[in-house]
Copies of this chain bind each other. A is one copy, B any other.
Amino acid sequence: MQKPVQKRTLKTRARLLAASVEVVARNGYEALRVEEVVQAAGVAKGTFFAHFHDKDALMEILIGERLAACFDEVEGGAAPKTVDQIIAALEPIHSVMTSERYVFDLLLRYSGATAITEIGPIAHCFERYFRVVSGWLETADVRQDISADLLAEGVQAFAIQAMSLRFCALHSATTFTDRLQVYLEAWLTPAA
């Protein structure tokens, strides 16, 4: 996968990815079947697994790309200063992350790199989330007693918590945004 020298390889991989995007567009991520993808791409099943270690690896790429596009957009704008602005700025990212329960579960599963040598697309996204938020917090209107990095880790933890509860029937009284706002105000601008 590191050195796809042959032109054929690139073309096959591109066909597989294009077919996957198409299949996902039709029925969502969860409903994607490898069989469907290889048929749409016109290759054999074995070829799929020569290009992607497993189905999850393909999903990582697809979802990772979508999130990367979100990050590009988000980083294009001005750095948010307040809690409300931060939540608003992150909204497109959180929206994609919670677009499907299946997607969110997969994100959590691959949020950390298993081995140092292979940092997957999703782990990259979480790294980027951390860096972006940390960058904002350095000049934002927030508590200064702890580092922006630590604050950013907390923002990530609370965002994940709020997204988790979004899928939970028990806590559906509060909306995702409202909950995240309560969390982040308590975390970023404590009054104690």
Contacts and interface: CB of A to CB of B under 8 A. Distances in A.
A171 B123 CA distance: 11
B183 A154 contact: yes
Query: Interface residues of A toward B: which range?
Result: 35 or more
A186 B108 contact: no
A136 interface: no
Given A113-B170, A190-B190, A161 B157 contact: yes
Contacts of A156: 161
Interface string A172-192: 000000000011001100111
Chain multiplicity (copies) = 2
Contact of A154 (B116, B119, B186): B186
A169 interface: yes
- The secondary-structure label for the interface of chain A is helix
A164 B110 CA distance: 10
A92 to B, nearest CB: 22
Interface stretch (A73-81, A83-91, A142-150): A142-150
Contacts of A109: 105, 108
Nearest to A159: B157
29 contacts: A105-B109, A108-B109, A111-B164, A112-B169, A112-B171, A113-B168, A113-B170, A114-B167, A114-B169, A123-B168, A123-B170, A143-B190, A143-B192, A144-B192, A145-B186, A145-B190, A145-B192, A146-B186, A146-B190, A150-B182, A150-B183, A150-B186, A154-B183, A154-B186, A154-B187, A157-B157, A157-B158, A157-B183, A190-B192
